[in-house]
Chains A and B, each alone.
Chain A
Amino acid sequence: MTLQGVLDAVAAVCMIAGALLSLAAGVALLRFPDLLSRMHAAAKPQVLGLLLMLTGCAIRIATVVDITTMVLIAVFQLATAPVAAHMVGRAAYRDGHTRTDLLIADELAPDMEKFADAPSDPPPP
């Protein structure tokens, strides 16, 4: 097998694995019971899915301009996905959109009054 053939095979494996992980994220989004669990699906398997997809593309395309752009996409995905997930998750928990019957432990509930009037909340007008 030529080098090009090997590279093509690696790229194909990366892309298919990435696509399957993204599919799993989609299925999880539909099947998981409450918002916090769904945030896991929205934020996570798809991160690795995207990284694998970008790796596959980088191997196939292999021009410097495109690869540098893909590196940036990966970096910003890694930096922003957790922040977005945290903001949605935090709001969801405060608004009580959590299925507490599915939690085997909740160590946040007893400490919640600490956050009741946290300074990050905007003051009432």
Chain B
Amino acid sequence: MSRLQAPLTRRERLRSRITAVIGLVLVWDLLWGDFSLLNTVFGVLVATAILVVFPLPPVKFGGRLRPVGVVRFAARFLFDLVVASFQVALLAFRPGRPTNAIVAVRLRVPSDLNMTLVAEAVSLVPGSLIAEADHQTGTLYIHMLGVRDEAHLERLRAGVLLLEARLIRAIGSDEELRKVSAPRAGDREESPS
């Protein structure tokens, strides 16, 4: 396990450990279906033991939770999930083969957490799948199903960036928020070939 890139302060590390314990205790209680005090205390013991034996890699969480943003993100995500599920289902029964495309989308906030969450959300919405991710530049290469033409492709690319913006509005820091709100200068220009 590499501890090379761990510029976390003591407080940040403590906070990420406490978050991990809370998450594990929640899973424990849900598995037992029992939220009694005794069960929870035992869950805390088990969670602490697990984290001592298998420490999690440090995750830097610089932002803060914005409840309105979280609700908006979740609602839009569910809506996308339903719409896109039926689109892919339709594609499955329609005659003819769908044409696809692999799109490179450069995220504006290339932090690990942001990249992971955007990739998860993009993958869960049917019709898009992460084919490759570039850690250094924060670029996601997304395989899109049923892309009709160049204009459709650009709409999908804009959709991914909008998703990122919604995510940042839900959990990002103020600085990250400025990044996604401002028009970007170093935008990658793709000429239609």
Partners in one complex: yes
Which residues on A are within 8 Å of B, measured CB to CB? Answer: 20-21, 24-25, 27-28, 31-33, 36-37, 39-41, 43-45, 47-49, 64-69, 71-72, 78-79, 81-83, 85-86, 89-90, 93, 102-109, 111, 114-115
Q: Among B27, B92, B120, B130, which residue has the most Cβ atoms of chain A within 10 A?
A: B92
Q: Could you give, for residues 75-108 of chain B, a 1 whenever the CB lies within 8 Å of some chain A CB and a 0 otherwise?
A: 0000001101110110111000111111110000
Measured as residues with beta carbon below 8 angstroms from the partner, the interface class of chain B is: 35 or more
Majority secondary structure, A binding face:
helix
A47 neighbours in B (Cβ, 8 Å):
81, 85, 124, 126
Closest Cβ–Cβ distance, residue B147 to chain A (whole Å):
6
Extra 20 A-B pairs, beta carbons < 8 Å, given A49-B85, A90-B130, A103-B102: A21-B89, A27-B93, A28-B88, A31-B92, A32-B92, A32-B97, A37-B145, A39-B129, A40-B145, A41-B92, A44-B124, A47-B124, A68-B33, A72-B27, A78-B124, A104-B153, A105-B153, A109-B102, A111-B134, A115-B134
Contact pick for B97, options A21, A49, A102, A111, CB 8 Å: A102
Q: A64-B33, A68-B31 are in contact. Are A90 and B89 (CB under 8 A)?
A: no
A8 to B24, CA, bound (A): 34
The answer to whether A108 and B120 touch across the interface, beta carbons within 8 angstroms, is no
Q: B30 on the interface (CB 8 Å rule)?
A: yes
Closest Cβ–Cβ distance, residue B174 to chain A (whole Å):
28
A123 to B188, CA, bound (A): 33
Q: A40-B127, A47-B81 are in contact. Are A108 and B132 (CB under 8 A)?
A: yes
Q: B190 on the interface (CB 8 Å rule)?
A: yes
